[in-house]
Amino acid sequence: MLSAICVPLVDRGFSNHNNESIRSAYSAFALELLTSPHLISFLGSLDDLAAAININHLSAVITQVSASGKAEHLPSEHKLWLLAHFIAVHRLQGRNDQDPEFVRALSFQISSSSSDVLGRMAPKESDTLVRAVDEDEESSGNVAPSLHPFIREQLLSLVNQTSISGLLNKFNGDQTKGSISQEEDASLLSSYALTLLRIFPGRGDEIRMWLFQGSMTTSSGIQLPALKFFWQATSGTKIFSAIKEDSKAALNLLRPQTQSNALTPSQNARDYEWRTILLFLELYNFVLRFTDDEEFLSAGNITLGDQAISRFRESALPLKDIRSLTIFLKNLAFTAFYNASELLDDDQSVANDSPRVGSLGTYFGSTTTSIFQSQPQSSEATRQTFRPFAGIAGMNFPYVRTIVTGVMRMLYERDSRRRFLPKDHWLMTSRFDMEGFIPAVVAEEERLHEYHEEGDDGEEEDEVADEDESQFAYALIGMERSRRAQHIEQQKVKQQKAARARYMAQVGPRLEILQNMPFAIPFETRVNIFRQFVHLDQLRRRGGNTDPDIWRMSMVQNAMANHPGPGLRPPGREVLSRHHAKIRRDQVFDDAFEAFYQLGEGLKEPIQITFVDKFDTVEAGIDGGGVTKEFLTSITNEAFRADDGPNLFVTNDQNLLYPNPSSIDERREFMKTAGIKETSKDWKDTLKHTLQQYEFLGRVVGKCLYEGILIDVGFAGFFLLKWATAGASNSESGYRPNINDLRDFDEGLYQGLLQLKNYDGNVEDFALDFTIQDTYSFPGAPTTQTITRELIPNGANKAVSNENRPIYVSYVARHRLLVQPYHQTQAFLKGLSEIIKPSWLSMFNQTELQTLIRGDTSEINVEDLRNNTIYGGVYEIGDDGLEHPTVQLFWKVMEELDDSDRRKVLKYVTSTPRAPLSGFSQLNPRFSIRDAGGDEERLPSTSTCVNLLKLPRYSTASTLRHKLLYAVNSGAGFDLS
């Protein structure tokens, strides 16, 4: 049988007749035999067959039949067997090189079969790939069976360092010659690498790392790191130049092409350029995750010395190049979001067309450079149809937008952390009519709200949050759902997100910009938009009454008008009852949680607080907003700062807060020590209660933002980044942990990982593996406890080497910043999102969010404070419009104080040392001054709950200054005057 197969495949010369005979024989061999799942069982093995095959002839035939569309009639499983046998034959021939003809044929097949491979690898790959299952299967809820072990083995053999690194050797560094074959090979290899990244996302970091570690030789003989080589290629493309110069040029360049199989040279060049750009962005996205700020900013400052230069420092781009890149990225991203409705419609058309006609074969069909020239194609093969993006099967507009947004936001986050670009560099206000921008955005938000209210899509953000909650709740309490059930739920959420994305693109182009690249709009404008969003939400929820007292009165009136009958409490009074609580001064957090947790998003409505002492004696006070403010700030002080608080948050070296990553482990260990079984109801209820406390704290912070109440609480930057990215509509706008964020978490860990990353010896001497130790302790425990966890599957058996240490560093950062505190963070963000929509938070970066929470860090504007102060008692301004002499002295003293003392005075009166973002007109309640008698020996005192300064009638500025600063520095308040 083997002889019968091989005899027709023998090359007998290069005459046209023999050429055709061999072509026909290899074509039949490929399409009839290599597609059979029984080939190995017939032959016993492929060894002898592989020895008799001319792999170049076979590659050329596969390229030709793929380009002509002749392989499209084959069942998908047969094409997978053809691909697997083709890879196996090449491997059995012991060929380490990757000839362009082989890579060309391989690319055709992988591209054509990529949709049949996704989601069907080994179980460890399936978890990562499940999101990429074919859309038809998603809608039906079916999960494709795993690949045959032989097919899986051959596909996985493509993902190894030798194979991937060998690709780089095929890129000709001398691009100045500009031959068609050189450009074709470069484009081919780019598409091959991009396709591997698509079908092996679980191995993506390894693939990118192997490419990143490679080098290229330029025409002048200079060795360039791979990243710089691809940057030079990218920045030299016409696409890059066009979009960098004009953001409007991106629209046509992003549109899928409608054309025949025979592409024009300009279309070929465009595909080549896009592939080069996308491969560069894939690599740069990878590099930015591991590059610390010093390395990033070191380009042009490298000096050769005794210490070896790290690969990341070698690969750093000059700042002038980064500026050009960011202009290109923001112009491209702006179009991708602002014109998304047009581009998503086009992309949907691509998805609905046959992906086979628009596969890689359409690109290489007319340029095969083998002994087998392409045959004339049929009219069916040349019919007009939409092609995938850059001619790569499965490549679409959302992918392009995802990778562009990811790199752009990583550069922006770095610039916002340590500025290296000019002021206002990121703004794109020239693309809008800024005078009408805020009303237009508000109108888009209203249309989106109406869409949700109609029930067409539901509150998608809430459903996603519910999905997140269910995922970590099951993980915490030990319950499991079938993989199929999880898959169906995940696909349901994905479909809801896709539907919302399409609608958002249609009705909210400005909202798309604000959520995914908010830095394009000035910060002050975004703050005003945020306040308007909150105000409109209050109007909707409170029946048009935003004033708390008027709302309460309307609820009472409605209750009286709609009394349900004798013995029943009217609904309005029931609502008011649930929004009132009696709070003990020494148990603020516990009482608040008990009283208000069940309200959920109902905490948005006005609440009434009655403070009582330990004897249950009611404190005097009327809640005109002041007691509510004191209540909320008291909760945050107890929960975030008190030594005897609930220990839900911890601080870093800068005294900035983030969720205690060990809190869940601590409670688990405490219950084990107490003899509580993991399967018991008490176990589950305790963990659930802990997460509910995080959720409630999220609501409390959200309530402060909702009511415009400033709190003197600082959160760590990496934690705030999770807020800022929680509501982005694009997946790559989500939080991506990196080594620089570790600095906010643990300076010692950050420095240690830097030393490991840049160590010029053999890191295997440290005997590290892909595991990590989590430590925790709880009151009463004699020692700190340790849990060893794997960073990757089977991580205990994978040593950290010089080659894979960047990935190790990345996984440590991911574990510490994302995985370990995941449940706590998600619970907090869930509560926060119930009060403040995540899409509103996504309008701000981490620094801006901190300013929203704590207030403005700029110098205190005394004139603004003076213009927005309310006076009471004898200080009240009369008909003459003149201030009382003591009030005039107070403002004179405030003007003379330095900014640090002004802040102390402000904190003394309002409990926060910073002004609201939009000035003191936004302070809630307003800054107030009331007289406290004529005794000049008394100290000033305050009621921080209502931002009230009680100021005795001092007669001289020196006395007022002395008494004021004494009171401020001694902490005099209610009890010391």
Residue 546 contacts by C-beta under 8 Å, 6 or more apart in sequence?
A: 535, 538, 539
Is 945 noted as a catalytic residue in this protein?
yes
Q: CA-CA distance, 663 to 162, in Å (whole number)?
A: 44
DSSP 815: I
10 Å CB burial of residue 874 (0-12, 13-18, 19+) is middle
Q: CA-CA distance, 388 to 521, in Å (whole number)?
A: 33
Count the Cβ atoms, other than its own, within 10 Å of residue 74. 17
Strands (E), 802-912: 869-872
Exactly one of 55, 117, 945, 949 is catalytic; which is it? 945
Q: Tell me which residue has tokens 């001619």.
A: 391
Work out whether the CA dihedral 855, 857, 858, 861 comes out positive or negative.
positive
Structure tokens at 116: 């049949």
State how far the alpha carbon of 37 is from the alpha carbons of 162, 292, 810, 823, in Å: 28, 50, 41, 46
Structure tokens at 437: 């921008």
Cα within 13 Å of Cα(479), Cβ side: 12
Distance of CA 232 to the CA centre of its chain: 28
- For residues 920 and 927, the answer to whether their CB atoms sit within 8 Å is yes
Question: Closest Cα partner for 767 from 790, 791, 792, 801?
Answer: 801
Residue type, 75: P
Residue 303 contacts by C-beta under 8 Å, 6 or more apart in sequence?
A: none
Question: Closest Cα partner for 852 from 724, 667, 669?
Answer: 724
Q: CA-CA distance, 314 to 11, in Å (whole number)?
A: 49
Q: Tell me which residue has tokens 């009074």.
A: 573
Angle between the N-to-C axes of helices 226-235 and 265-290, in degrees from 0 to 180, rounded to the nearest 10: 140
- For residues 116 and 198, the answer to whether their CB atoms sit within 8 Å is no
- For residues 908 and 942, the answer to whether their CB atoms sit within 8 Å is yes
Phi then psi dihedrals of residue 756, to 5 deg: -65, -40
Alpha helices in 454-587 (DSSP H): 460-477, 483-507, 509-516, 523-541, 548-561, 571-578
Angle between the N-to-C axes of helices 204-212 and 226-235, in degrees from 0 to 180, rounded to the nearest 10: 90
Q: CA-CA distance, 643 to 844, in Å (whole number)?
A: 31
Judged by DSSP in three states, 225 sits in strand
Judged by DSSP in three states, 247 sits in helix
Question: Closest Cα partner for 77 from 137, 119, 37, 23?
Answer: 37
Question: Closest Cα partner for 121 from 156, 84, 88?
Answer: 156
Strands 927-931 and 948-951: parallel
Structure tokens at 215: 């080098």
Strands (E), 572-632: 580-584, 608-612
Q: What are the beta bridge partners of residue 870?
A: 928
Work out whether the CA dihedral 770, 799, 212, 114 comes out positive or negative.
negative
Phi then psi dihedrals of residue 507, to 5 deg: -105, -15
- For residues 914 and 906, the answer to whether their CB atoms sit within 8 Å is yes
Q: What are the beta bridge partners of residue 609?
A: 581
Question: What b/e string do you get for 361-379 counting C-beta neighbours within 10 Å, with b at 16 or more?
Answer: bbbbbbbbebebebeebee
Q: Tell me which residue has tokens 């890191």.
A: 763
Instruction: List residues with catalytic annotation.
Output: 945
